[in-house]
Amino acid sequence: MSGQTSSSTLVGAVVAILIIGAVATLGYYQFEVAPNQTSTITSNTAPAITCPSAQCANVNMTNAAYNPPPGYTQGAKTTYGFSPDTVTVVMGVNNTVYWTNSDTAAHTATSDTAGIFDSGILNSGGTYQYTFTTPGTYTYHCSLHSWMQGTVIVKAATSGIGSTSTASSSTSTTST
């Protein structure tokens, strides 16, 4: 019986030492390490980044777009979360659209028609560009937040210039 008591006492002593060590470590960190660290307060809003080319249409995924708009009903059409929500581009003039995630949450720019374009997950500050090669109207959404919906209108070069936004490059790229 004394062997059992001695092992119980040993286990208790080890547990007590571990608890005291943990408390001492936390106290040391709280009173010695943490006060000597410098901190920087940063804004939750990423700066709006524009396409590196003067010939791009820029779309921002707006700050706090991860929250549905007031009164949103699942499946409803909205103009919330992409700014601007509709861009018009002209083939050969500015037919690349450049999306920037200016929100703190991850988003996507995903074509409503499968296989046309999909940015994949863009973390805060991430960008994606896609060059449209065929005139038409392309609707898209954020696959993570169904209330985020947008439209790209692509006009043929002969339909006139005077787009509402500014594109180039013939590839799509993603950065996070």
Q: Specify if 43 maps to a domain.
A: no
**Residue 128, domain extent:** 56-175
The DSSP code for 125 is T
pLDDT tens digits for 37-77? 443 333 344 444 556 666 889 999 999 898 888 888 887 88
Nearest-angstrom CA–CA distance, 127 and 49: 8
Whether the per-residue pLDDT at 156 is higher than 80: the answer is yes
> Are residues 32 and 104 both part of a single domain?
no
Weakest mean pLDDT among 50-59, 107-116, 119-128:
50-59
Q: Specify if 133 maps to a domain.
A: yes
Q: Specify if 126 maps to a domain.
A: yes
Whether the per-residue pLDDT at 104 is higher than 90: the answer is yes
Q: What are the tokens at 25?
A: 């470590």
**β-pair partners for 154:** 89, 136
b/e map 117-134, b = 16+ CB within 10 Å: bbbeebebebbbbbbbee
Residue predicted with more confidence, 125 or 164: 125
Q: Tell me what the mean pLDDT of segment 125-136 comes to.
A: 94
**What does the DSSP assignment read for 60-79?**
EE-TTTTSPPTT--TT----
Q: Specify if 157 maps to a domain.
A: yes
User: What pTM value is reported for the model?
Assistant: 0.61
- Number of folded domains that form the chain: 2
> Are residues 64 and 15 both part of a single domain?
no
Q: Are strands 56-61 and 96-101 parallel, antiparallel or unpaired?
A: parallel
The pLDDT-based confidence of 4 (bands split at 50, 70, 90) is: low
> Are residues 79 and 159 both part of a single domain?
yes
> Could you identify the residue written with the tokens 């080319």?
53
> Are residues 99 and 164 both part of a single domain?
yes
> Are residues 66 and 134 both part of a single domain?
yes
Q: Specify if 49 maps to a domain.
A: no
pLDDT at 169 (0 to 100):
36
> Are residues 64 and 23 both part of a single domain?
no
> Are residues 118 and 31 both part of a single domain?
no
> Are residues 136 and 64 both part of a single domain?
yes
Q: What is the three-state SS of 3-28?
A: HHHHHHHHHHHHHHHHHHHHHHHHHH
Q: Specify if 167 maps to a domain.
A: yes
pLDDT at 31 (0 to 100):
57
Q: Are strands 136-141 and 149-155 parallel, antiparallel or unpaired?
A: antiparallel
> Are residues 115 and 163 both part of a single domain?
yes
- Indicate the burial class of 167 (C-beta count within 10 angstroms; 0-12, 13-18, 19 or more): buried
> Are residues 94 and 151 both part of a single domain?
yes
Whether the per-residue pLDDT at 128 is higher than 90: the answer is yes
> Could you identify the residue written with the tokens 């560009």?
129
In degrees rounded to 5, what are phi and psi of residue 89?
A: -125, 160
Q: Specify if 115 maps to a domain.
A: yes
Weakest mean pLDDT among 11-15, 59-63, 93-97:
11-15
> Are residues 101 and 150 both part of a single domain?
yes
> Are residues 76 and 150 both part of a single domain?
yes
